[in-house]
Amino acid sequence: MKKHLLLVSSSRCRGGAYLQHCEEAIKKFIGNISKEEKLAFVPYALKDHNSYASTAISAFSKMGYKMESVHTYKNPRDLINDTAVKLVFIGGGNTFRLLNELHKSGIFEDIKNNVENKGLKYMGSSAGTNMACPTIKTTNDMPIVLPPSFNALGFVDFQINPHFVPGNLVPGHMGETRETRIKEYHEENNTIVVGLTESNWITVDGNEAVLHGENESFIFEKNKEIRMWKPETIL
């Protein structure tokens, strides 16, 4: 079955409201759903689930969608497996904590199965976008907890580095650039990495991945020159 994915680099852009910069893309991606249908939110990447869920639910409510958060369920699997749920959205935060909580809650395999085999749409932002990749090895986050493995949901066959910034982060910064870190990744791994810039997002329809947004993103392949990925073109 075709996978339908919306993978956003960042939930906020240039000081705008939550998901404001990609709101039209979200509405186009979800489409029209009935009053009985709803969306599921996964707030596990942040510690304060209540506040995070409130932010997401409010944003999607303004777009005309009903959303519920898995953390409000005694058994989160009940929401993920509810046939009325048409999309699951995993928000950003710490990728290691997120992956760990997906396993602890028991919904990791449910999300994977429902997206791959039952037509459930998947949306991720930042850490949630990392979660769609084969592994979480190209996250920007600190490993504040140790998940069972680094393997993620594997909805795409390339890695993503969200919030990608080319060159030095700030003048005089002496730490590794994102290019350096991705080069280190390729010293030990072979998978293509997309440096997804802040204002961009990727849609996936089956095996076709298209970049959207305002700026170019960047494609890193082992032992090859960096390539630019222009908006509205297929990877």
pLDDT digits (tens, 9 = 90+) for 45-55: 999 999 999 99
pTM of the model: 0.96
What is d(CA 68, CA 12) in angstroms, rounded to the nearest whole number? 21
Residue 168 has pLDDT above 70, yes or no: no
Residue 229 and residue 218 in contact, taking contact as beta carbons nearer than 8 Å: yes
Q: Identify whether 157 is a catalytic site residue.
A: no
Residues forming a β-bridge with 37: none
pLDDT band at 167 (very low <50, low <70, confident <90, very high): confident
Q: Identify whether 11 is a catalytic site residue.
A: no
pLDDT at residue number 15: 81
Residue 174 has pLDDT above 90, yes or no: no
Choose, from 71, 82, 163, 186, the residue flagged as catalytic: 163
Q: Identify whether 163 is a catalytic site residue.
A: yes
* Angle between helical axes of 95-105 and 108-117 (0-180°, round to 10): 90
pLDDT band at 110 (very low <50, low <70, confident <90, very high): very high
Q: What percent of the chain has pLDDT over 90?
A: 91
Residue 169 has pLDDT above 70, yes or no: no
Paired tokens of 107: 């919904």
Choose, from 11, 105, 125, 126, the residue flagged as catalytic: 126
Alpha-carbon 81 to chain mean position: 20
Read off the DSSP letter of residue 151.
B
Choose, from 11, 105, 141, 217, the residue flagged as catalytic: 141
CA 77 → CA 40, 53, 96, 143, 202, distances in Å?
11, 17, 20, 26, 27
